[in-house]
Homo-oligomer: A and B are copies of this chain.
């Protein structure tokens, strides 16, 4: 076999395994829960219009919108003082929208915790619009991101309009299992959270952690690309810069009930289906238990492999439950390719995508809502077997 041209090595998702055996470990966009995918398919096979064809002003779509927001509020226990907005432009759109909404003047200060790929991207975009104060969490010796810093008066600018963090760094494998509570002297600063890759997988203490804005692009846990859910505390409305594009303006979109311009109608319906599924599957606490179970089986294999597998994050309280990065035999090319091809042949796809944001030789198993505990176990078993045969 010419491994150079094997589809597994160029990120193909079309494994030749039987369809029901294929498991999508992609870092997102990725598969939704099978029950949701079946519901979407069914919606295209009944008489009448699907949401693809609904005017956003029609009562049929307004009911979908209302249901999606109400169920999201229920699942994530979002208090009444927060607005739920469906915004365009993905997470990257919010990277710009945040400073444009929360900083009226370019001289307004915002503090960014940079501890991985996505918080760095968010910070870079904010640099256009406000006075950014960066807390650089990279390792001073290696430059690698392997931790999350303590937040104190010593590193957070007390005049910040907001304090920004990314609660799960998909590339680096660092997750805050709970949002931080700031010391008293910083409690006037609203927290802004990029929860794109962990939203819906654990509870959020909105009030206790002084969350001002939290956003999540849909395409990891709650839907598919083209939509972002942005939750904004209402006291932060009305502060936008005059330079804020209308589509990004939280205030005008809130006043217009998410209809300032045409929202991504079908994408919103899909988020509603995922929220219904979460309710049925026991809510966010049950989801967290599943996330812990899924990631534990993989980290256990890695930690008990005598170094055959390695993961970059030593601090277990910061290891991502969403994305488990691992390398094989210290990043050995031949073994890594063999692993990719053999797992792909068995239906495990998405462990390496051709993203420009990869870290060295690490593969990544992403364990969003579309992946079951049983599927994580299949990968864990394969990893153990592969080690036995190749070490």
Give the B-binding residues of A (Cβ under 8 A).
7, 10-14, 19, 22, 24, 26-32, 37, 40-41, 44-45, 47-50, 52-60, 88-93, 95-97, 100, 125, 128-129, 217, 219, 224-227, 242-243, 245-248, 260-267, 270, 350, 353-355, 370
Contacts and interface: CB of A to CB of B under 8 A. Distances in A.
A355 B57 CA distance: 6
A52 B224 contact: yes
A54 B31 CA distance: 7
Contact of A11 (B10, B27, B58): B58
A57 B353 contact: yes
Contact of A225 (B56, B60, B217, B270): B56
Nearest to A266: B224
Contact of A96 (B27, B49, B245, B267): B245
Given A32-B53, A55-B28, A48 B14 contact: yes
9 contacts: A13-B60, A19-B47, A32-B52, A52-B224, A89-B261, A90-B247, A100-B245, A224-B266, A226-B226
Leading 4 A-B pairs by shortest Cβ distance:
A226-B264, A96-B245, A19-B47, A92-B261
A129 B241 CA distance: 12
Nearest to A24: B53
A226 B267 contact: yes
Contact of A54 (B13, B32, B263): B13
A92 B55 contact: no
Contacts of A88: 88-90, 93, 226
A153 B375 CA distance: 68
Given A31-B49, A44-B44, A92-B260, 7 more contacts: A13-B60, A24-B49, A26-B55, A29-B55, A52-B270, A53-B370, A226-B264
Contact of A92 (B32, B40, B246): B246
A329 B11 CA distance: 63
A225 B265 CA distance: 6
Given A227-B226, A266-B225, A125 B245 contact: yes
A138 B80 CA distance: 44
A90 B246 contact: no
Nearest to A12: B59
A67 to B, nearest CB: 16
Contacts of A243: 128-129, 243
Contacts of A350: 55, 58
A381 to B, nearest CB: 23
Given A19-B48, A225-B266, A55 B242 contact: no
A129 B55 CA distance: 31
Contacts of A90: 88, 247, 261-262
Contact of A93 (B219, B247, B265): B247
A240 to B, nearest CB: 11
B30 A55 contact: yes
B92 A12 contact: no
Nearest to A228: B88
Contacts of A26: 53, 55, 58
A264 B264 contact: yes
